Amino acid sequence: SLMVCVILSSPPSLGATIRKDEGTGEIFIARVIHGGLADRSGLLHPGDLLVEVNGNPVVGLDPEQVIQILINSQGTILFKVVPNEAPGNSSTSCLKAVYIRAMVDYCPLQDASIPCPDAGMAFRRGDLLEVVDQSDESWWQARKLPWAASCAGLIPSASRLKSKQREQWWSQPSHVHTCIRACERQSCTSCSPTLGSLSSPYEEVRLYQRLPQEKQRLIVLTGASGVGVNELRKRLIKLNPLAFQGPVPHTTRPIRAGQLMEREYHFVTKELFDYMMSNHRFVEYGEFKGHLYGTSVDAIDDVLRRGQICIVDVEPHNIQMLRTPRLKPYVIFIKPPSPERLRETRRDARIISSYSASRAFTEDDFVQLEEASQLMEAKYRHFFDRVLVNEDLHNSCMELFSFIQEAQQEPQWTPVSWNQNRA
Ligand SMILES: Nc1ncnc2c1ncn2[C@@H]1O[C@H](COP(=O)(O)OP(=O)(O)OP(=O)(O)O)[C@@H](O)[C@H]1O
């Protein structure tokens, strides 16, 4: 068959991986990295048989030895190859890109199973990736969004990551707690790592543009206790109460004279509250000074039905419950500023605890707030659409306002499963 010569000027990286046929000892191009040197040259394709590199016959060599020849080559590299007769999916350009959000962290340097660590791409949960090649069952090629780097990298396929996760899951008993809690909320009886979105390493996403006739997206604010989530929510509603509203909470607290039923609270009996709780009507609930308080899904719906933008303040572990096609939540994580600015700006701030009415922040409070915020961000980053640093209160409020405008009016990456009926 035809033998061709391919000359590439000495690259820092060829952008291709090779494999050895153990039966015949032949060396083949295994994959060509999208956007890499070999791909851009258009001269090397997956399945090409490598005969010589710079005059050195490579048949029978180990892939490591071939790579050594490449490393030692100066100037240009001359390949002799027998082209793959049936290139099939060798041209990556005609493949339709798929967009995913990473729900886990990945580091190729810590993965002994990756065929070529240099070609691997590290990512963190929450990163948006464009998958440009899914032809290999175990290793996909992807680029990080926004497209800073033009060259793709290898990432484990969803099925590969899932089986890895399963192995890890069973070897780490602490995960069981998270699972059981999540299951309780979703009212499922069994608990298996293969069930539910908890075990999905990637979430397929698509740009979603809300149509004017559609309901407003639910705005979720979350952050460590004391960072200012409630303050920002209150200020925003005060700024424009016709546009923004919070859901009316339910409480078992007795109604005070002069308080309007269903204006500030839905006053309910303990029995009704318990009934709603067992029917999973609450996104979040808790006890304060002997009375129960809760935010219900129905109260959120009431606000949305009126065409207003509903703003809720929830703990990050409850976000998952709100991630439905109907609510399409847009999640904003409120973060403290630098240690110095945090202490400066909160000089007159008051912290509310269940023990005392309210008091000034102590150094311990600041440290706790910073630690809790870091942990939260590390654990739930993949749920955050935006991060807002709450430094100057007025500026933060304005920034929040513009984030919400963007969420409602501009295209945003959302799970494909939220927009199945849309092209
Ligand atoms: N940017 C800011 N600058 C100065 N003070 C602030 C700022 N943001 C919030 N505060 C003040 O910090 C205190 C705590 O804020 P807030 O009650 O909103 O916290 P939170 O995050 O809702 O906490 P929790 O969930 O425990 O109620 C309040 O006194 C609030 O006015």
Tokens of 57: 């016959």
> Is residue 124 a contact partner of residue 134, using CB atoms and an 8 Å limit?
no
- Residue 143 CB neighbour total at 10 angstroms: 22
Spell out the alpha helix ranges (H) of 132-285: 158-171, 175-185, 229-239, 270-278
**Using 50, 70 and 90 to split pLDDT, how confident is the model at 179?**
very low
ipTM more than 0.90? yes
- Angle (nearest 5°) at CA 258 between 255 and 263: 70
Lowest mean pLDDT among 22-26, 229-233, 245-249, 337-341: 22-26
Ligand 1 centre and the CA of 335: distance in Å?
A: 11
Burial of 92: CB neighbours in 10 Å, binned 0-12, 13-18, 19+: buried
Q: Is the confidence at residue 94, as pLDDT, over 80?
A: no
Fold for 3-82, please state it. Pdz3 Domain (2.30.42)
Per-residue pLDDT tens over the stretch 203-261: 999 999 998 889 999 999 999 999 999 999 999 999 999 999 999 999 999 988 776 66
Whole-number Å distance between alpha carbons of 301 and 305 = 6
> Is residue 125 a contact partner of residue 161, using CB atoms and an 8 Å limit?
no
Report the chain's mean pLDDT, rounded to a whole number. Answer: 85
CA count, 13 A, side-chain hemisphere, 341: 10
Strand 4-9 and strand 76-82: the pairing is antiparallel
Q: Is the confidence at residue 160, as pLDDT, over 50?
A: yes
Whole-number Å distance between alpha carbons of 285 and 422 = 35
Task: State which of 230, 231, 238, 359 you would mutate to test the pocket of ligand 1, scoring each by most atoms of that ligand within 8 A of its C-beta.
Answer: 231
Q: Is the confidence at residue 192, as pLDDT, over 50?
A: no
Ligand 1 site residues, Cβ closer than 6 angstroms: 223, 225-231, 345-346, 349-352, 390, 393, 396
Parse the chain into domains and list their residue ranges. 3-82, 98-170, 209-243+308-422, 248-307
Ligand 1 centre and the CA of 402: distance in Å?
A: 20
To which CATH superfamily is domain 98-170 assigned? Answer: SH3 Domains (2.30.30.40)
Which amino acid makes up residue 156?
Answer: P
Please report the pLDDT score of residue 185 as a whole number. Answer: 37
State the pTM of this model. 0.81
**Using 50, 70 and 90 to split pLDDT, how confident is the model at 190?**
very low
Cα dihedral 97, 379, 401, 99 in deg (nearest 10): 0
Write down the residue that tokens 């793709």 correspond to.
152
Closest atom of ligand 1 to CA, residue 390:
1
Ligand 1 centre and the CA of 315: distance in Å?
A: 15
Q: Is the confidence at residue 356, as pLDDT, over 90?
A: no
Q: Which residues pair with 350 in a beta bridge?
A: 360
Q: Is the confidence at residue 328, as pLDDT, over 50?
A: yes
Most confident of 2-6, 8-12, 365-369: 365-369
Q: Which residue has the higher pLDDT, 170 or 144?
A: 144
Phi, psi (5° rounding) for residue 277? -60, -50
Closest atom of ligand 1 to CA, residue 232:
18
Closest atom of ligand 1 to CA, residue 358:
29
Please report the pLDDT score of residue 302 as a whole number. Answer: 96
Give me the CATH code for the 209-243+308-422 domain, please.
3.40.50.300
Task: State which of 284, 314, 346, 361 you would mutate to test the pocket of ligand 1, scoring each by most atoms of that ligand within 8 A of its C-beta.
Answer: 346
Mean pLDDT of 405-409: 96
Strand 386-389 and strand 330-335: the pairing is parallel
Fold for 248-307, please state it. Guanylate Kinase phosphate binding domain (3.30.63)
Ligand 1 centre and the CA of 227: distance in Å?
A: 5
**One fold for 3-82 and 98-170:** no
Ligand 1 centre and the CA of 362: distance in Å?
A: 14
Q: Which residues pair with 271 in a beta bridge?
A: none
Please report the pLDDT score of residue 35 as a whole number. Answer: 82
Ligand 1 centre and the CA of 266: distance in Å?
A: 25
Q: Which residue has the higher pLDDT, 220 or 181?
A: 220
Burial of 172: CB neighbours in 10 Å, binned 0-12, 13-18, 19+: exposed
Task: Collapse the DSSP code of 339 into the 3-class scheme (helix H, G, I; strand E, B; otherwise coil) and give the result.
Answer: helix
